[in-house]
Amino acid sequence: MSSPADVVETKPSLLDLFLAFAGIAVMGFGGVLPWARRMLVERRRWLTADEFAEVLSLGQFLPGGNIINVAVVVGGRLGGPFGSVATVLGLMAAPTIIVILAGALYLRYRHLPSVHGALSGMAAAAVGLIISMGVKMLQPFITKRALVPLLFVSLTFVAVGLFRVPLPLAVLVLAPLGVAAAWRGLA
């Protein structure tokens, strides 16, 4: 713990892994990734900033929740299969209970007009959250003027957003094409 820059050498226990990710989950109202970085890189020093960036980009393009994939990979590297189980359980336990409690409240009070209105207003704001997420993901491609990636962004948007192609079909067709184009681009 005394070396300021380096990653901690001793392997964390399964309980440490569980608690770290439980902490990330509970603090992460409205977005867990900044908290994941703070916990893993700055507080626990299990990963360097570069390692975190690499694990994060892996978690983002694999199927599944980004932060769940990050938990699986980090848990696996630090504690093998049981490490992954510990991190994922840590991440999921409290949110699952909280959201079921919220669901129970919703069931009880959803007939009230003000609850109905509040949720409609919240849903509208939540869509803004996803728009802003899309804009932030798009920005690097625009600043780099990466034309081929932008073409695939547009193709995907048109197929799924405008023509409502089912997600599995869109992914099965577009992902291999995207990878093939990237492969050629690297030559």
Partner 1 sequence: MSDDHSPLSTLFFSFAFLSLFTIGGVNAALPEIQRQVVHVHGWMTDQRFADLFAIAQAAPGPNIIVVTLVGWEVAGIPGALLSTVAMFVPTSVAAYIVGHFWHRFRLARWRIAIQAGITPITVGLVAASAFLLARSVDTNVVAVLITVASAVALTATRVHPLVFLATGAAIGAAGFV
Footprint of partner 1 on 5-24 (CB under 8 A)? none
Residues 127-186 that bind partner 1 (CB under 8 A): 127-138, 141, 148-157, 159-162, 164, 166-168, 170-172, 174-175, 177-183, 185-186
Q: Which pair of tokens denotes residue 148?
A: 């081929």
User: Of these, 8, 13, 81, 82, which contacts partner 1 (CB under 8 A)?
Assistant: 81
Q: How far is the CB of 123 from partner 1 (least distance, A)?
A: 4
User: Dihedral angle at the C-alpha atoms of 73, 78, 79, 84, nearest 10 degrees?
Assistant: -20
Separation between Cα atoms, residue 23 and residue 18, nearest integer Å: 9
User: Of these, 13, 15, 99, 109, which contacts partner 1 (CB under 8 A)?
Assistant: 99
Residue 150, C-beta contacts closer than 8 angstroms, at least 6 positions apart: 141, 142
Q: Specify the stretch interacting with partner 1 by CB under 8 A; choose among 2-10, 11-19, 37-45, 75-83.
A: 75-83
Instruction: Name the 3-class secondary structure at 117.
Output: helix
